[in-house]
């Protein structure tokens, strides 16, 4: 894991006209869910249009960007590049030079859908494994023979990720977040998308490990000793330690603690139960032990968590704003005959061209 020292990560989301709204929203939600899971605004992002200040998506919507792309601006810690239809219209020597500068300075580069074509045009995929939307595979293999384009969902080569688009963006985003932060953060983001933890897959690989997790889940209020859990799951303690390390890169004790405290956090945020009562429900015999454990795990006490939530509610116009969106806002544009999505969302008259698939 990178040593981030709680530094806020800034992401440039660079959009070419004709970009995919689906993949853009998926990766932005992954970043927002990372902030929610961490309980702090660890990631901020800014939207940049390559051709204009209001890049047009393939579905006819526009996004009001924070600024138009400029080759004089220093790239952010992470650059997410999204193109779908007509990616070559976003290509220019200045833009390619900016991408190369981002790579030289150590920025992560994440290219979605047909955007890997732009990275290839900048010479950044030479000798690297990469992927792209399946409709572009034949053409990029012919145009960029030095790149190793595959038909996979996503590829990583050093600090460069390429993704074929669609729902594969989620898998790429989770892999990226696990490296930027850690596997526990990625699992939290996965849960926010209502994606299961692959319990059936764990059971298929290791039925004893799956049984140990079930036992932990059934004993939150009255935790069992790890030796008891191992015995009931037909493990030796050494085997159980090794299984958790292999599957989750953690210890059984850490996994059990995370399970109990995640339940506690849900009760803190979504109920009005007394803090001491929540602690008892999650297996903590004294309020002081619970509060200390909570602060160690989440970096904030239960009462502070509730106060911050209440402050956020008072400021928020809707529930989404509460969960650590960046400071600046986005405008979603529709064609003039369409009603606004909300009274506070401006409507533009831009209407994207349609293109037959």
- Looking at the fold, whether 165 and 228 belong to one and the same domain comes out as no
* CB of 327 closer than 8 Å to CB of 65: no
Q: Confirm whether 233 is domain-assigned.
A: yes
Domain count, the chain: 2
CATH code at position 286: 1.10.10.60
Residues near 87 by beta carbon (within 8 Å), at least 6 away in sequence: 16, 18, 114, 115, 117, 118
One domain for residues 95 and 110: yes
Continuous segment of H or E residues that includes residue 111: strand 108-113
Residues in the chain: 357
Do both 148 and 246 map to the same domain? Answer: no
User: What is the DSSP secondary structure assignment for residue 223, as one 8-state letter?
Assistant: P
138 shares a domain with 15: yes
Q: What is the pLDDT of residue 351?
A: 34
Q: Are residues 24 and 162 in the same domain?
A: yes
| Residue 25 maps to a domain | yes
Q: 12-64: per-residue pLDDT in tens?
A: 999 999 999 999 999 999 999 999 888 788 999 999 999 988 898 998 888 87
Within-domain flag for 335: no
Q: Are residues 75 and 14 in the same domain?
A: yes
Q: What are phi and psi of 166, to 5 degrees?
A: 60, -150
Boundaries of domain holding 271: 199-311
Are both 166 and 301 inside the same structural domain? no
Q: pLDDT at position 6, please?
A: 62
Query: In which region does residue 207 sit, left (phi positive, over 0), alpha (psi from -120 to 50) or beta (all else)?
Result: alpha
Do 34 and 175 lie in a common domain? yes
> What pTM does this model have?
0.66
**Is 350 inside any structural domain?**
no
Neighbouring C-alpha atoms within 13 Å toward the C-beta of 259: 22
Q: Is 52 part of any domain? A: yes
In a domain, 295, yes or no: yes
170 and 269 housed in the same domain: no
Q: Does 4 map to a domain? A: no
pLDDT at 207: 87
Full pLDDT tens readout for the chain, 357 residues: 344 446 789 999 999 999 999 999 999 999 999 998 887 889 999 999 999 888 989 988 888 778 788 878 899 999 999 999 889 999 999 999 999 999 999 999 999 999 999 999 999 999 999 999 998 999 899 999 999 999 899 999 999 999 999 999 999 999 999 999 988 888 888 888 875 554 555 555 788 998 999 999 999 999 999 999 999 999 999 999 999 988 888 899 999 999 999 889 888 988 889 999 999 999 999 999 999 999 998 888 999 988 887 776 554 444 334 444 444 344 444 333 333 333 333 333 333 333 333
Domain containing residue 43: CATH number: 3.40.50.880
- The answer to whether position 321 is within a domain reads no
């Amino acid at each position: 894991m990178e040593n981030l020292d709680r530094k806020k990560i800034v992401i440039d989301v660079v959009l070419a006209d004709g970009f995919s709204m689906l993949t853009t929203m998926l990766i932005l939600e992954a970043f927002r869910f990372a902030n929610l899971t961490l309980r702090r605004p660890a990631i901020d992002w800014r939207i940049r249009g390559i051709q204009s200040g209001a890049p047009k998506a393939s579905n006819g919507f526009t996004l009001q960007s924070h600024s138009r792309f400029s080759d004089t601006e220093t790239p952010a810690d992470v650059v997410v590049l999204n193109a779908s239809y007509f990616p070559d219209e976003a290509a220019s020597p200045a833009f390619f030079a900016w991408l190369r500068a981002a790579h030289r300075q150590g920025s992560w580069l994440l290219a979605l859908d047909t955007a890997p074509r732009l990275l290839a045009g900048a010479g950044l995929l030479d000798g690297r494994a990469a992927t792209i939307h399946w409709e572009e595979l034949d053409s990029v293999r012919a145009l960029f023979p030095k790149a190793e384009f595959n038909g996979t969902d996503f590829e990583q080569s050093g600090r460069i990720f390429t993704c074929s688009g669609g729902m594969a963006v989620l898998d790429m985003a989770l892999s990226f977040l696990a490296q930027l932060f850690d596997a526990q953060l990625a699992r939290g983001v996965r849960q926010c998308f209502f994606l299961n933890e692959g319990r059936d897959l764990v059971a298929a690989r290791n039925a004893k490990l799956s049984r140990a997790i079930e036992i932990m889940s059934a004993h939150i209020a009255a935790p069992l000793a790890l030796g008891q859990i191992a015995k009931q799951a037909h493990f030796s303690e050494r085997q159980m330690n090794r299984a958790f390390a292999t599957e989750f890169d953690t210890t059984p004790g850490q996994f059990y603690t995370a399970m109990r405290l995640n339940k506690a956090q849900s009760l803190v945020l979504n109920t009005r139960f007394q803090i001491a009562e929540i602690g008892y429900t999650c297996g903590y015999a004294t309020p002081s032990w619970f509060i200390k454990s909570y602060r160690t795990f989440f970096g904030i006490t239960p009462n502070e968590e509730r106060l911050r939530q209440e402050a956020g509610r008072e400021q928020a116009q809707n529930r989404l704003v509460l969960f650590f969106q960046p400071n600046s806002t986005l405008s979603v544009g529709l064609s003039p005959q369409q009603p606004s999505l909300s009274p506070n969302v401006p409507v533009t008259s831009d209407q994207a061209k349609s293109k037959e698939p």
